[in-house]
Amino acid sequence: MSSLSRDDIANLARLARIEMSEDELVSLSNEFTVILDAVARVQEVASADVEPTSHPLPLRNVFRPDVVVPSLTPEEALSGAPAQEESRFRVPQILGEE
Amino acid sequence: MAAKLSSGETTSVALTQAHLDRIAAVDTDVHAFLFVNTEGALAQAAAVDAKRAAGEKLSPLAGVPLALKDVMTQKGVPTTAGSKILEGWRPPYDSTVVANLKNNDIVILGKTNMDEFAMGSSTENSAYGPTHNPWDLTRIPGGSGGGSSAALAAFEAPLAIGTDTGGSIRQPAAVTGTVGVKPTYGGVSRFGLIAFSSSLDQAGPCARTVLDAALLHEAIAGYDPKDSTSINAPVPQVVNAARSGDVKGMKIGVVKELNGDGYQSGVRARFEESLELLAAAGAEIVEVSAPNFEYALAAYYLIAPSECSSNLARFDAMRYGLRVGDVDGASAESVMNLTREVGFGREVKRRIILGTYALSSGYYDAYYGSAQKVRTLITQDFNKAFEKCDVMVSPTCPTTAFKIGEKSDDPIAMYLNDIATIPVNMAGIGGMSLPAGLAPEDGLPVGFQIMSPAMQDQRMYLVAAALEAALLSKWGAPLLSLAPELVGK
Amino acid sequence: MALTYDDVIAKYEPVLGLEVHVELNTKSKMFCGCSTIFGGEPNTQTCPVCLALPGALPTVNEKAIESTIKIGLALNCSIAPFSRFARKNYFYPDMPKNFQISQYDEPICVNGYVDVEIETDEGPKSFRIEVERVHMEEDTGKSLHVGGATGRIHGAEYSLLDYNRAGIPLVEIVTKIVPGTGKYAPEVAKAYVAELRDILRSLGVSDVKMEQGSLRCDANVSLRLIGAQTLGTRSETKNVNSLRSVERAIRGEMIRHAELLNKGERVVQETRHFQEESGLTRSGRSKEQAEDYRYFPEPDLVPVAPDEAWIETLRLALPERPSIHRKRLQEAWAVPDKEMAAMINADVLNIVEATVNLGADPTKARSWWLGEISRIANDKNVAIATLAITPNDVAEIVALVSAGELTDKLARQVIEGVIAGEGKPAAVIAARGIKVVNDDGALMAAIEKVCAEQADTAQKVRDGHLPAAGALIGAVMKETKGQADAARVRELLLGHLGQA
């Protein structure tokens, strides 16, 4: 019976950049016990000699020629921006390293 | 309608206005629409009328109005994907589907309601409130494309566009008594389709009749160089198939694992009856087996969340959409975390966490990796089965429309709605649902699902047209004429 | 107590790993048709795809694939018959999708090598650096950090993002671990990056300018006791922006690791940033808390399976290897080994070659670039490539000197002027009024004037004291504002004073 603890969920929420409340973490942890059991069934038939499918279609080598195509105007590009300054997207201070 | 337009009996403006009036009259109750583009639609309609008056040659559906699931970008028009995180966002570009609609002069009335980011089977996960089934306003219209199907069933639009990742076109069609088609994966461009699960998503036509769906199918399908997964081949001849409806000699495969065992009795009854009608029309009913279908649901609920956990990462409050918590001293990281917490609904967050887990180091092979293998097995099952038949059939979903609120606390129960539709998306083949009648126990619509091999979409239209004609004969009038009157409540 | 480098290598041996990122010079971006031109106004080269607007989809640039295959072939790699794109998932504001489309376990090129030669105490020695893989990915946008003291990310109030660069094709070249370099680790690393740069330049796939960021190097270093089998903990150093920095960064890291190990402390596995001014590294993101990138195959793109015929065509069209090219130049220019090495070390070989290709005599071209211009670059503490003077300019100056319109001394003034930004040689000459005084008449006038003013000295020369002529020549040069040809002045002066 697989399960994820509240801390496991908190780690995943951190990876997914979602600030979850304590209630959410606990209730998700409970739900996941059932969900993981249900989805773990895939292991029953996923043997080593079966190839995984990443693409439903057998396409290969779909390319685009190296030609410049008109871009959006800066106004269009920034049209949804929550904040902007001098034609750039303005974002709060970034804590992480680049 | 198209005929009336081309004969001059009516104008697109009149037609559009009539539908806008209908929306105004009933949509407070149905809530199919998130945004009604009154100005834009009438302007489009006027432009088409002008072209027609000038003697220009127009496409078959020119001037006919349509409802667009709010998951497709339309330039300058609010597009939300049913989520708060995109509230008020107006895309600076058209999706290819919208571009194709515009090229065909189809008038876009507005954007329809949906489960948030297409995740759900009831449209109850919309951040903007549920849509109500026109057959019974206390019931769900299906999901995730409940808005589009409800709009059709309520006569708010004659055509609609939906998207289908695990059944989101077909299941709403089934529970609203309308037609919904998921083309072969790659048949319709995904450029501008706000992504949920990239390897499963597909946009498709929704309508009240099989022929209308076919006409819309040909208007939106086709190769798009902007979508690397787009099929570079001519669109299957679905209109011809829909007009023909000749199924003599066709082998119709009933999937043993999806034959209705355990489904609602009325659903089974209508399914059996449809098989009899098809047999009477000259088709041969054979039994086929797909033993790996029982794993499809589990695999789907690993693949789709995994892909969506990545696809939805872009909603981070930096470039567009909702931004919350941007106060003095806040960091980009905290703004991101808060915005996503507030902007995403419960089901979306649940799937993001599940997907993040399924892809994480140490668990990839057991979950996502294994699910991709199940996918291969399901495709093999279909290939084997299609050696014995031309199309495969099943009831579209196990029950008729349930009550709003009935299943929303039980995710697994909700997921089971898609049990018959999911295998189609896993293999990337074509699937559609058309009305098979009403379930006697509750008087609610039941859907009949037809599945065709990849790139052979015309086969399912052939069978659908045959069944539709037979049923129409039997009923004497279209099924939707039995739906309750909505105006005057 | 600070260790010396000799202390370090007496006890430890280094193991290297080098990751080089190359910005390709395709016209359009990796996954969309936006222009890649450097220096455009912010957010003028973006589209739904590279901005990661909802609904956008990537499409693969064919030229980028071609360039990557060429790079793989030039590095002796096998080209994978089947390779796939993968999503590398992590959140950062300069990466719009919050995942990077890259390649993971199925890269396009694998298992190659690069041979480099360095000078050791025992003479020239060759090292083979094995290349693990070459793969494709996309660049990020650029952030401007506002409000902090240094314009750096620490202490900034907010940031401004420009996505013009987001999506530009990047090729990543990763070496296998490189043991066995001993005390020459810094030199080997520098030689590897230099050779890589020359190969890439000869392929024409990138303008490989480290100072502009089209060639970036991350250096991984670990130490172990000499003779030990297991590997030590490594650190990764970023922000290494020149060949010289590669050398300094590795040397610095080796010393830093040794100091920690000697004290019994642990080396932390982390990313560090190289500081140009100090030559030291500063701690950055700790890799021990590293994100799980959750790689999975990119569902929006289909696999790449280049056909054999295409690969063969590219293989046949590969240009001459830089090492062979260098030998050819050395023969053609008749340059002794030591001078050849000097040019390579000072990184002026291709600049000299360009100058020669414009018609300049090889020896003269060499002596200007290695001499005067190198001196100026060193004084300013910058790389020669960043100076304003071009091969064109130098070729022009060499030609003027040959034609007698400039003396060596005047040529130096012109060079100084060009570098100072006063314009091209012709403009500098005109503005400064630089002119060789060729006119014997004018020279004679000056000579007579000086001899009159310094009659005693002039008499000494007449009497046979030739060295005394020096002072007179100097005076004449001053009189002619340095524009006379000193040799001619001497000739005329001695003649005038009866000492021809």
Chain C residues within 8 A of A94 when measuring between CB atoms: 92-93, 143, 145, 153, 156, 159
Q: How far apart are CA B199 and CA B404, in angstroms?
A: 30
- Nearest residue in C to A83, CA atom: C160
Instruction: Answer yes or no: do A59 and B229 touch at CB < 8 A.
Output: yes
Residues 353-382 of chain B whose Cβ lies under 8 A from any Cβ of chain C: 356, 359-361, 364, 368
Whether residue C199 sits in one domain with residue C66? yes
Whether residue C25 sits in one domain with residue C78? yes
Phi, psi torsion values for B258, nearest 5 degrees:
-125, 35
Whether residue C83 sits in one domain with residue C38? yes
- Alpha-carbon gap: B285 to the closest alpha carbon of chain C (Å): 36
Q: Are C274 and C239 in contact (CB under 8 A)?
A: yes
Domains of chain A, first to last: 1-46 (1.10.20)
Neighbours of C313 (CB within 10 A): 11
State residue A98's pLDDT score.
53
Q: How far apart are CA C56 and CA C67, in angstroms?
A: 25
Whether residue C38 sits in one domain with residue C118? yes
Phi, psi torsion values for C271, nearest 5 degrees:
-95, 135
Rounded average pLDDT over C223-244: 91
Whether residue C48 sits in one domain with residue C12? yes
**Final residue of a structural domain among C432, C450, C468:** C432
What is the ipTM, given to two decimal places? Answer: 0.95
pLDDT in tens, C281-296: 888 765 445 679 999 9
Whether residue C57 sits in one domain with residue C34? yes
**Alpha helices in B282-391, H assignment, sequence order:** 296-311, 332-343, 346-359, 370-386
Chain A residues within 8 A of B367 when measuring between CB atoms: 39-40, 42
State residue C433's pLDDT score.
81
Catalytic residue among B83, B126, B144, B433: B144
What are the Cα distances from residue B97, in Å, to B205, B224, C181? 10, 10, 59
Domain that holds residue C473: 440-496
Q: Give me the residue label for tokens 């056909």.
A: C307
Domain B2-293+375-482 top-level CATH class? alpha beta
Chain B residues within 8 A of C159 when measuring between CB atoms: 332
* pLDDT band at residue C267 under the 50/70/90 scheme: very high
pLDDT at residue C481 tops 90? no
Q: Measured on CA atoms in the order B455, B459, B462, B466, is the torsion positive or negative? A: negative
- Percentage, residues of chain C above pLDDT 70: 97
Identify which of B68, B266, B42 has the alpha carbon closest to the alpha carbon of residue B152: B68
Least confident range of B82-86, B322-326, C277-281, C295-299: C277-281
Rounded average pLDDT over B203-220: 97
Give the amino acid at B234: P
Q: How far apart are CA B74 and CA B230, in angstroms?
A: 20
C440-453 helix and C469-479 helix, angle to the nearest 10 degrees: 120
Chain A residues within 8 A of C25 when measuring between CB atoms: none
- Which chains touch B (3+ CB pairs under 8 A)? A, C
Q: Residues near B415 by Cβ (< 8 Å), separated by ≥ 6?
A: B121, B297, B301
Instruction: Answer yes or no: do C26 and A59 touch at CB < 8 A.
Output: no
Instruction: Answer yes or no: do A81 and B412 touch at CB < 8 A.
Output: no
Least confident range of B154-168, B228-242, C274-288, C462-476: C274-288
Residues forming beta bridges with residue C238, ordered by sequence position:
C273
Rounded average pLDDT over C193-219: 93
State the CATH number of the domain containing residue C491.
1.10.10
* pLDDT band at residue C405 under the 50/70/90 scheme: confident
Identify which of C344, C296, C16, C6 has the alpha carbon closest to the alpha carbon of residue C198: C344
Rounded average pLDDT over B235-263: 94
Phi, psi torsion values for C176, nearest 5 degrees:
-75, 175
* pLDDT band at residue B23 under the 50/70/90 scheme: very high
Residues 1-60 of chain A whose Cβ lies under 8 A from any Cβ of chain B: 4, 8-9, 12-13, 15-21, 24, 28, 31-32, 34-35, 38-47, 50-57, 59
Q: How far apart are the first and last CA of chain C?
A: 68
Whether residue C339 sits in one domain with residue C250? no
- Establish whether the linkage from the previous residue to B144 is cis, with ω within 30° of 0: yes
What are the Cα distances from residue C436, in Å, to B34, C235, C403? 83, 58, 11
Catalytic residue among B95, B126, B148, B168: B168
pLDDT at residue C201 tops 50? yes
Instruction: Characterize B205-243 residue by residue with b for buried, 16 or more Cβ atoms within 10 angstroms of its Cβ, and e for exposed.
Output: bbbbbbbbbbbbbbbbbbebebbbbbbeeebbbbbebbe
State residue C289's pLDDT score.
53
Comparing CB atoms, the residue among A32, A79, A94 nearest residue B331 is A94
Question: Is B144 tagged catalytic?
Answer: yes
What are the Cα distances from residue B60, in Å, to B1, B212, B235? 10, 10, 16
Q: Are B29 and B58 in contact (CB under 8 A)?
A: no
- Nearest residue in B to C304, CA atom: B228
Q: Are B158 and B64 in contact (CB under 8 A)?
A: yes
pLDDT in tens, C107-125: 999 999 999 989 888 888 9
Catalytic residue among B69, B84, B111, B407: B69
B334 touches chain C (CB under 8 A): no
Rounded average pLDDT over C60-87: 97
Instruction: Answer yes or no: do A66 and C62 touch at CB < 8 A.
Output: yes
pLDDT at residue C435 tops 80? no
Q: Give me the residue label for tokens 């070989």.
A: C349
**Final residue of a structural domain among C314, C334, C354:** C314
- Per DSSP, the three-state class of C204 is coil
Whether residue C115 sits in one domain with residue C59? yes
- Alpha-carbon gap: B251 to the closest alpha carbon of chain C (Å): 34
Whether residue C416 sits in one domain with residue C444? no
Cα-only R_g, chain A: 22
State residue B411's pLDDT score.
76
State residue A95's pLDDT score.
81
* pLDDT band at residue B259 under the 50/70/90 scheme: confident
B332 touches chain A (CB under 8 A): yes
Whether residue C150 sits in one domain with residue C183? yes
Q: How far apart are CA C265 and CA B316, in angstroms?
A: 40
Q: Considering chain B, what is the average pLDDT of its residues?
A: 95
**Per-residue pLDDT for chain A (98 aa), expressed as one digit of tens each?**
568 999 999 999 999 999 999 999 999 999 999 899 999 999 999 998 999 998 888 899 999 999 999 999 999 999 999 999 999 999 999 886 65
B125 touches chain C (CB under 8 A): no
Instruction: Answer yes or no: do C51 and A72 touch at CB < 8 A.
Output: yes
* pLDDT band at residue C140 under the 50/70/90 scheme: very high
State residue C282's pLDDT score.
87
State residue B212's pLDDT score.
96
Contacts by residues B256-259 (CB-CB < 8 Å, ≥ 24 positions apart): B256/B287, B256/B288, B256/B289, B256/B290, B257/B289, B257/B290, B257/B291, B257/B293, B257/B294, B258/B290, B258/B293, B258/B394, B258/B395, B258/B419, B258/B420, B258/B423, B259/B394
Chain C residues within 8 A of A51 when measuring between CB atoms: none
* pLDDT band at residue B7 under the 50/70/90 scheme: confident
Question: Is B69 tagged catalytic?
Answer: yes
Comparing CB atoms, the residue among C55, C59, C299 nearest residue B193 is C55
Identify which of C127, C86, C132 has the alpha carbon closest to the alpha carbon of residue C106: C86
For residues A21 and C343, which has the higher predicted lDDT (pLDDT)? A21
State residue C318's pLDDT score.
95
State residue B489's pLDDT score.
41
pLDDT at residue C365 tops 60? yes
Report DSSP letters for C299-322, one per residue: TTS--B---HHHHHHHHHTPPPPH
pLDDT at residue B378 tops 50? yes
pLDDT at residue C500 tops 70? no
State residue C288's pLDDT score.
47
- Nearest residue in C to B363, CA atom: C294
Q: Measured on CA atoms in the order B11, B16, B19, B25, is the torsion positive or negative? A: negative
Q: Are B183 and B204 in contact (CB under 8 A)?
A: yes
Q: How far apart are CA B481 and CA B476, in angstroms?
A: 10
* pLDDT band at residue B58 under the 50/70/90 scheme: very high
Whether residue C123 sits in one domain with residue C61? yes
Q: How far apart are CA C180 and CA C15, in angstroms?
A: 7
Identify which of B59, B418, B435 has the alpha carbon closest to the alpha carbon of residue B218: B59
Identify which of A19, C166, C390, C48 has the alpha carbon closest to the alpha carbon of residue B92: C48
Rounded average pLDDT over B164-168: 97
Rounded average pLDDT over B307-323: 97
Instruction: Give the DSSP H or E segment for C188.
Output: helix C185-203
CB pairs A-B closer than 8 Å: 174
Whether residue C182 sits in one domain with residue C80? yes
State residue B268's pLDDT score.
96
Rounded average pLDDT over B450-467: 97
- Percentage, residues of chain C above pLDDT 90: 59
- Nearest residue in C to B368, CA atom: C296
Q: How far apart are CA B270 and CA B438, in angstroms?
A: 7
**Structural domains of chain C, count:** 3
Rounded average pLDDT over B480-485: 88
pLDDT at residue C480 tops 50? yes
Whether the full predicted model's pTM is greater than 0.95, yes or no, is no
Identify which of A81, A85, B117, A96 has the alpha carbon closest to the alpha carbon of residue C140: A96
C124 token code pair: 């020239």
- Nearest residue in B to C60, CA atom: B228
What are the Cα distances from residue C44, in Å, to B314, C41, C143, C361? 21, 6, 15, 45
Comparing CB atoms, the residue among A15, A73, A77 nearest residue C292 is A15
Rounded average pLDDT over B113-135: 96
State residue C290's pLDDT score.
62
Beta strands B107-112; B65-69: pairing state: parallel
- Alpha-carbon gap: A32 to the closest alpha carbon of chain B (Å): 8
